[in-house]
Structure 1
Amino acid sequence: MILTVARIVALALGLIGFGLSGSAWAHDCLLKCDEPPPPPPPPEPPAIADRDGDRDPMVIAPVAAAVAPSGRSEYMLTGTADAVAAASALLEEMGGKVIARRRLKSLGLGMITADLGRIGSADDLRRRLAREGLAVGVESNMVYKQAAGPLTYAPALAGAPDGDPCPLGKALSIGVIDGPVDAGTTALAGARIASRSFLREGDAAGAPDHATALAALIAAPGNGQWPAGFARKARVLSAVAFAKGTTGDVARADAIAAALDWLATERVQLVNLSLAGPENATLGMVLHELARRGTIFVAATGNDGADAVSFPASHPDVFAISAVDARKRLYYKANRGTEVSFVAPGVELFVPTADGGRYRSGTSYAAAIATAIFAHAIDGGLSGGDAIEKALGAAAEDLGPKGRDRSFGWGLLQLTDCSKKI
């Protein structure tokens, strides 16, 4: 569906409203203060992953914005193509600089990433844009970390007959926004994987282990050397948004938005978001618009043990997935909240890595398995978030207080249609 000009302007004005009010942001100073140079990041706690251990790679990063060449925070300017072009000229007139340009074709929007340079503050830029009558949203270009940290028990726990997940009936496309996938690994031999990068020129792609693990949990064909994924025969569209950062792999919000746009143009119905970070109005708008068109989003709740679900899992148009272990106990680092939709196996799963394979734990991995189970629901003819939630909720194993709760959501997801396919 093509957005009308009025709809695009309304969306852009909505973005401006978010930016000026600050009410939807947990960290208002990123948008409304005079932006002193960003403080150095605090030291990472011992639980932050490394690639050689069995720790959890998916601990949420401190909230931060991408750093521009001037040392200040980067910002995204989003609106119609004409409005963004005019905003670009105004930005440079005021002493700022355009870092990157993107076009969100599926939404009919333009986007630039900007260094404010000599501009006093983001509010100064917003006020000038408003005076010029330019409906352009100004949002901090926040960074996100992959939401993850071994797989023999998982299929049986999710209801797969004889512990063997059944294949999809057709080659459904599933989007995975993460780092690069190592399609040459033994686990993915024969899998259908297409990839596109949304990194900037000069960025180094993040490590492949996390995204490769997600792809294997979803679509590994099963070849005798490696177990099958939960939705084999699926086609994985790998959108590479994670680049190497100073304290680990991170994704800028504009790269995630561009990745979502690509998946929309490819008509992908189901997208995995095993990442976590601060709420972002621009990403929230993109998620809402694509969900309104029928895209299903599945995201990890995050792994900092908080009584709050991380974004984008906290978004109302996204299914938030938490993790349980082989004994159906909640992962001790999993975030809790009213947004939790379901749980899936996510503790001590054996996943492929650069050195062969390791046991990892995290809500990222649970979200990958959940994505595969959602794929079976779509493969079975269900469409629309409400219908899918109702069917999967009815089949889920209720693990907490009766009904939906803050820890387990509707319960443990089950592969209910496998018996019809084998």
Structure 2
Amino acid sequence: MAAEAVIRFAAMLAAAMTIVAVPASAQTNDPNPDQTKIDCRDGTNAAGADSAKDGSDTEGGSDAAQSGAVFLPALIVDLFPNPAAPPTPVPTPRPEPATPPADTQAGPPPGGPIVSPTDLIAVQPPRAVVGDFVPDEVLVTVDGDAGAVQQIAASFGLQVRSQRQSRLLGTTLVRFGIPDGRPVGVVLAQLAADGRTQRREPNHVYSLQQAAGIVNYAFDRIALDSKQASGENVRIAVIDTGIDDTNPALSGVIAGQFDAMPDVPIEKRDHGTSIDGLIAGVGALEGMAPGAKIYHARAFEGGKSTMDVILSALDWAAEQDVRIINMSFVGPKNDLLGVACRNARALGMVLVAAAGNNGPKAPYGYPAAFDGVIAVTATDAKDGLMPQANRGAYVFISAPGVEMVAPSGAGSDVVTGTSFAAAIVSGAIANLIHAAPDRSADDIEKALAATARDLGPKGRDNDFGYGLLDIKAAAAKD
């Protein structure tokens, strides 16, 4: 029997000498591997030796082919009666349980070591993120306290960069950082596995809507008598750049200020100064609603801001008990912004936003395109549409916004854009509220739509909306 065993062993050894084995469990993460690599793994490549040289995606493949080394994993297992124990299986990664630890600073959350973020299972396909956004951040509303926020960060390999209770969102808003370079869409999909994360959105980037740029003809075009115009004591929030509050046109106009980005130095003050001045300016550059009280939130620098900063400004505005919020900026659709706008409208605030200056073929601009937001496009002194204006079914009304003189950081300037048309509408609405303080946001919106002077195709259209604002007719509307 011993002789037969030796003969069998020699035969098996001789047969194995002709085999160069590649581990059967070798994997690739490439979703579209090239044909050379596929053939190498299947052992069917007609190129032979060249295929073996290209086998570097399997551990030690290239060195083995060049040295003639022989691998016998299956033969060794067959010959020895006590094979080595298989490797311990890797546990499936799961988010931490919903119950936070008693002491969030004492160490990692319970349940064992934190899994690598690259191994996390996404319960949804990766999100396709539209528009500009901060590439290493996500915004998440969380059902839970600070301990839950820390657990989520640890479980998903994230950093807590800021967290606060949002009045308009009605929950905790957390700005998580992504330190390992994972795409935002992947992280959003991974976070969906944790039931404590209610809404998960990119930290989108928004832009002020000032077009390149000669007397303010707006009073005449919207049928507002400048001698009778008044927004006395109507509280209006403006979310914009910093302002030059030493400009004579803003004397006594600013009732309160808030800096939503205090760590960023203020360099530009023109846009915000112009918006405030067009709404409620005094003196030579009188606005549409002199006497109105402006609550100004600085949320932009260099013409840009992020969703997190804008939401902070909106929450502050809501706390000031304002009747109107002017948002002369545009960005992509973001569900968090939509919820904030919807809740602000439910609190009775009139929301006015620029439709956008990105051209006729541009996608819808937000927040203007959200329901309950009055989207304003810009017209010139002859009621012609500004060529750069966005178009679409969301456009609600037209107002002057082309080549108007407005206060700025340098004194005054000629400005053009849907930003400034939005300011004209905000000031006009302040006149309606001053005359009839009990008018609701719904009543005001209906009056504007019913009395607008039709421009372009008959009825509401994608260019002018319902038409040119007629504030005299709107004021007379029951």
Which one of the candidate residues 147, 165, 170 is aligned to 1:103?
165
- Hey, what does 2:109 align to over in structure 1? none
- Hey, what does 1:301 align to over in structure 2? 355
Q: CA RMSD in A?
A: 2.5
Residues 1:289 and 2:343 aligned together: yes
- Hey, what does 1:383 align to over in structure 2? 439
**Counterpart Cα distance in 2 of 1:125 and 1:112:** 14
Which one of the candidate residues 221, 236, 239 is aligned to 1:157?
221
Which one of the candidate residues 215, 220, 228 is aligned to 2:276?
215
Which one of the candidate residues 424, 446, 465 is aligned to 1:409?
465
| Equivalent pair of 1:192/1:233 in contact (CA under 8 Å) | no
Which one of the candidate residues 232, 254, 266 is aligned to 1:205?
266
- Hey, what does 1:114 align to over in structure 2? 176
- Hey, what does 2:325 align to over in structure 1? 271
Per the TM alignment, residue 238 of structure 1 is displaced from its structure 2 partner at its CA by 0.5
Residues 190/119 of structure 1: CA separation in 2 closer, same or farther (3 Å cut): closer
Residues 124/191 of structure 1: CA separation in 2 closer, same or farther (3 Å cut): closer
| Equivalent pair of 2:156/2:191 in contact (CA under 8 Å) | no
Residues 400/118 of structure 1: CA separation in 2 closer, same or farther (3 Å cut): same
Residues 1:145 and 2:238 aligned together: no
Residues 1:234 and 2:275 aligned together: no
Q: Which string of whole-angstrom CA distances, capped at 9 and with x for unpartnered residues, describes residues 233-287 of structure 1?
A: 11001011113xxxx3211101111111111122212100100111111111111
Residues 1:183 and 2:237 aligned together: no
| Equivalent pair of 1:75/1:113 in contact (CA under 8 Å) | yes
Q: Which string of whole-angstrom CA distances, capped at 9 and with x for unpartnered residues, describes residues 43-101 of structure 1?
A: xxxxxxxxxxxxxxxxxxxx3212xxxxx43111113452x641333213443212222
**Structure 1 residue ranges, 4+ long, deviating more than 4 angstroms after superposition:** 19-22, 119-132, 417-420
Residues 214/117 of structure 1: CA separation in 2 closer, same or farther (3 Å cut): same
**Counterpart Cα distance in 2 of 1:380 and 1:391:** 14
Letter of the structure 2 residue corresponding to residue 30 of structure 1: V
Partner SS state of residue 129, structure 2: helix
Letter of the structure 2 residue corresponding to residue 378 of structure 1: I
TM-score by length of 2: 0.68
Q: Which string of whole-angstrom CA distances, capped at 9 and with x for unpartnered residues, describes residues 114-166 of structure 1?
A: 211137455665566554431332211011111123543221111123x5461
**Counterpart Cα distance in 1 of 2:418 and 2:190:** 42
Per the TM alignment, residue 207 of structure 1 is displaced from its structure 2 partner at its CA by 1.0
Residues 390/95 of structure 1: CA separation in 2 closer, same or farther (3 Å cut): closer
Percent identity over the alignment is: 32
Partner SS state of residue 352, structure 1: strand
Which one of the candidate residues 115, 128, 147 is aligned to 1:29?
128
- Hey, what does 2:452 align to over in structure 1? 396
**Counterpart Cα distance in 1 of 2:386 and 2:205:** 25
Letter of the structure 2 residue corresponding to residue 228 of structure 1: E
**Counterpart Cα distance in 2 of 1:279 and 1:123:** 15
Q: Counterparts in 2 of 1:328-343, with a 5 A limit?
A: 328-343=383-398
Per the TM alignment, residue 316 of structure 1 is displaced from its structure 2 partner at its CA by 1.2
Residues 92/234 of structure 1: CA separation in 2 closer, same or farther (3 Å cut): same
| Equivalent pair of 2:138/2:177 in contact (CA under 8 Å) | yes
Partner SS state of residue 99, structure 1: strand
Partner SS state of residue 444, structure 2: helix
- Hey, what does 2:380 align to over in structure 1? 325
Letter of the structure 1 residue corresponding to residue 459 of structure 2: G
Residues 1:136 and 2:198 aligned together: yes
Residues 397/355 of structure 1: CA separation in 2 closer, same or farther (3 Å cut): same
| Equivalent pair of 1:180/1:211 in contact (CA under 8 Å) | yes
Residues 1:358 and 2:407 aligned together: no
Letter of the structure 1 residue corresponding to residue 388 of structure 2: K
Per the TM alignment, residue 296 of structure 1 is displaced from its structure 2 partner at its CA by 1.3
Letter of the structure 1 residue corresponding to residue 296 of structure 2: S
TM-score by length of 1: 0.76
**Counterpart Cα distance in 2 of 1:207 and 1:355:** 10
| Equivalent pair of 1:142/1:252 in contact (CA under 8 Å) | yes
Letter of the structure 1 residue corresponding to residue 273 of structure 2: T
| Equivalent pair of 2:124/2:192 in contact (CA under 8 Å) | no
**Counterpart Cα distance in 2 of 1:132 and 1:309:** 31
Q: Which string of whole-angstrom CA distances, capped at 9 and with x for unpartnered residues, describes residues 186-235 of structure 1?
A: 2212323311011153x2235110010000000112x2xx2311011110
**Counterpart Cα distance in 2 of 1:21 and 1:194:** 45
Per the TM alignment, residue 399 of structure 1 is displaced from its structure 2 partner at its CA by 1.5
Q: Which string of whole-angstrom CA distances, capped at 9 and with x for unpartnered residues, describes residues 333-367 of structure 1?
A: 11111111111110000112232222111000000
Residues 1:73 and 2:136 aligned together: yes
Residues 76/132 of structure 1: CA separation in 2 closer, same or farther (3 Å cut): closer
**Counterpart Cα distance in 2 of 1:126 and 1:147:** 29
| Equivalent pair of 1:74/1:141 in contact (CA under 8 Å) | yes
**Counterpart Cα distance in 1 of 2:472 and 2:242:** 31
**If you compute each CA radius of gyration, which structure gives the higher value, 1 or 2?**
2
**Counterpart Cα distance in 2 of 1:303 and 1:120:** 32
Residues 153/20 of structure 1: CA separation in 2 closer, same or farther (3 Å cut): farther
**Counterpart Cα distance in 1 of 2:125 and 2:337:** 17
Q: When the two structures are aligned, how many residues end up with a matched partner?
A: 350
